[in-house]
Structure formats: C-alpha cells, structure tokens
Structure 1
Amino acid sequence: MALNPHIEYSTTLDIVEGFADDGNVRKHEIATHVMVFMIRGVFSAWRQPVAYSFCKSTTSAEDIIKTLRIIIKKATAIKFKIISCVCDQGATNVKAINMMVAESRGMPFDALRQGKTVVENVIIVDEHCDSIV
C-alpha cells in the first residue's frame, strides 16, 4: 500500500520515523510503501495483522520470502495450520510465491524419499509435510 512519505522524530522511541524498515534492517531511505502480512480464519471471519514492513518503492522477493517463512514458522509453532497463501498481483509478491513453490518441489524430505510427491503449487517450510501426499 502506498504511503505519503513523512519523517518525524519520536521522543518516545528516540528515533526518526519514516524510513524503510523491515523490523530487522533499517535503511536510510524514506518509506513510500507498507506491506502487511495477515492471518485469516477459513471457517470464521476473523483476521489479524501479524507483521508489517516499510519500504521505498517495493519489497524484494527475497525479503518477502524471509518474512513469510518467519510468519509460517511462528504460526505453526502455536498450532495454526496454514492451508493457503494469498497475495495481490504485485510482481515481487508473485515472484516470491513462485520461488517458494519451486524450492518446495526440489526439497529432499524423508517423505519424498519414501516415494511421495509434492502437490503442485505447494509451499513447504521447515519440512512440514502436511502438504505431501
């Protein structure tokens, strides 16, 4: 989502806010966009933002993958079962999802060695085999 670029000093945090920041790395670029990651219920209509990052122009596919992996790991650690990943048609979003799907096809899991195959268009993170048939 596009933002109006704005820089402001936060006396509470003692930092200048308004720069590109993904929560790990803060860059010396004025943020023009924000990316929000949400978890949503399938059988009930709840949704919860779980992460966001500020960037200049667009977030790289590699950074999207890094953040998405962290979210999936933390969500599955508290017993959420991720069954789908949806993004808008932004080029880097689509690239990130396609890169994760391609990587999942070639991952050497024990289940794959047992003759099972990965379903098309599936993302596997940390050898979670829920999506192997």
Structure 2
Amino acid sequence: MCDTFLSKPLTEIVKLQATLKDKKPIARSKRCLERMTENIAYRPGLVNDDVFAGIHIKVNSLLEVDRHCIICMDEMSLKANLFYHTGRDEIIGLHDIGLETKQFLVAQNASVIMARGIYYNWKQPVAYFFVHTQFKASDILPILKACITKLFDIGLHVDGVVTDMGSNFISLSTLLNVTPENPVFSVNDHDVVYLFDTCHLQKATKNNLVNNTFCFENKRTSWTFVEEFYKSDKLQPYRCAPKLTDAHIYPTNFEKMKVKYAVQVLSNSVASGMNTYDHKLFVEEFRNVI
C-alpha cells in the first residue's frame, strides 16, 4: 500500500519506522549513534571518505530537485595551540590541508567547505583545513574542483560556489576566469556559478563609500551625506534611524569588518530618513528664498 499511495521517500520512512517498532529504545538513542561514530577519525582535507559515503546514503532518499546544492567556503581565525593526540600518535595544530601536506608551521586559521541544499533545507560540512596564515588560492583551486567532482559522483548537483570577499577568494575567482559578465566556470563539463556572499558585498560597498564618492546615472553620492543625516537625526527626540550609532558612522578597523553595521547603514529606514531630511532642508531653503 505504501508503494502504491505514497512517494518513495515517505515510503522508506514508513517502512523504517515499522521495522523499528519492536526494538528497544536504547538501540535508537543518541548515545548509541555517538558510539557508532566516535571511532571514525576525521582528518583535514578531502580524505574523509566516510563523510561522502554518509552523504551518498542520504542522497539516495532525496528527490531529484532536492539534490541541487551550493558549496560554501569560509575561514576563521584560531588561537594558535599544539597538543599531542595519543590515539593517533600525532601533533594537532600544525598547517595541514590534507594529501600529506602537513607543514611544521602553527595553524592560525581554519577553513571549511560546506554543501547546502537550495530547494531542500539541508547542510553538511564536507572538509576542513588547518592553515598557517591564509589559504592560498593556488591550493584552494584543485581542492574545490576535487570536492565538486566528488559531490557530483555521489548524485548531488552543485549549482554554485559562495565565498566572502577575502583576497584569496578574489584571487581564486581570477584563477577560475570568473568575471561579472561571465560568473560561470566548468568542472567536468558541469557549469558552476561563482558568487560572492551578498552580505559581504554590502560591507565592501559601505567601506568603499566611506573613502570614495560614487557617481551613477548623472548623480553623485558621498559618505558626507550619511554623516550629516546622522548628526541631525541623533539630536531628535524621535529618530528616523534609531539603530545608527557612532560605530556605524565612525567605525574602528574592527567595526569596519562587521557586516551588521553595513547592512543597517544601507537599510531602507536610513534611506527613508535621509529622504525626509533632504525634503526638510529643501522646504527650509524654499522658505528662506520667499
């Protein structure tokens, strides 16, 4: 009846639940699953075949449309530290990107590659790397192509790659011959779109506006206008843009890296407030002329 009236994924779920109904709850506990996986060693690089084998099992239960995904790549800073892993007889914390490339340099950054569904909400880290300073574009390129190939081989459809605007990722896009006019590169005859993360694009736009004047459509805009609006607005009892603070308008080097500040400055509420402020100045100027 399940095969007749239910979809294939739902049928598999019902059959699985039917086989588990007579088993003791302990066999289905979280700790039971942890014991099954605690002896699996996950190492830096694309060397963890168990990860891809597990994804392959999951992929077989997905509808064709749910197999479309993107790859996300990002880095984070680490507090440099070394420790000896007695089980592996290995020092952990050195530069290691897999493929027997460990170097005697203390890792200061970690990089992660994650696959995420487009139509169906799923995500899975597929590889991580310990890097001394910055993950070089020349090292990322073969790893990225190998990862995309592995995901295609297990049945996923990689439609895009998303990164932030770090200098190494900008260099990577250059190596892939990606341009604003042609944001597509090819891996084994599969077209993949390269995208910079939207939030980081907003941060870059805001930081460029701080130091430059933008000209477009015979118009000109400058950070000076935002400053003038903020100085006037913060004196009002009822503000148009109450979230704006000195950290938004006069940011430190650390605050310039905060995406939320850029998004809040370039928001619709700030734009509406500036439009109201501009209209008020126009009315006052018109009255003075009269």
Q: Same fold (TM over 0.5)?
A: yes
Alignment match of 1:26 (pick from 99, 102, 127): 102
Determine the C-alpha separation between the residues in 1 that align with 2:119 and 2:175: 29
2:137 equivalent in structure 1: 61
Determine the C-alpha separation between the residues in 1 that align with 2:135 and 2:191: 29
1:127 equivalent in structure 2: 189
Q: Give the secondary structure class of the aligned counterpart of 2:113.
A: strand
In structure 1, runs of 5+ residues without a counterpart are 106-118
Alignment match of 1:37 (pick from 80, 94, 113): 113
Residue identity opposite 2:175 in structure 1: M
Residues 160 and 192, structure 2, Cα contact 8 Å, conserved in 1: no
Aligned Cα root-mean-square deviation (Å): 1.9
Residue identity opposite 1:127 in structure 2: D
Alignment match of 1:17 (pick from 68, 78, 92): 92
Residue identity opposite 1:19 in structure 2: L
Report deviation, 1:97. 2.3
Q: Give the secondary structure class of the aligned counterpart of 1:84.
A: strand
Report deviation, 1:23. 1.1
What fraction of aligned residue pairs are identical, expressed as a percent? 28
1:8 equivalent in structure 2: 83
In structure 2, runs of 5+ residues without a counterpart are 1-75, 194-290
Alignment match of 1:85 (pick from 154, 161, 165): 161
Residue identity opposite 1:16 in structure 2: I
Instruction: Indicate the structure (1 or 2) with the bigger Cα radius of gyration.
Output: 2
TM-score scaled to structure 2, two decimals? Answer: 0.38
Q: How does 1:101-116 map to 2 (within 5 A)?
A: 102=177
Looking at both structures, which has the greater relative contact order when contacts are Cα pairs under 8 Å and sequence separation is at least 6?
1
Determine the C-alpha separation between the residues in 2 that align with 1:98 and 1:80: 26
Shift in CA distance, 90/73, structure 1 to aligned 2, threshold 3 Å: same
TM-score scaled to structure 1, two decimals? Answer: 0.80
Q: Give the secondary structure class of the aligned counterpart of 2:157.
A: coil
Determine the C-alpha separation between the residues in 2 that align with 1:94 and 1:22: 20
Determine the C-alpha separation between the residues in 1 that align with 2:116 and 2:133: 26
Q: Give the secondary structure class of the aligned counterpart of 2:185.
A: coil
2:39 equivalent in structure 1: none
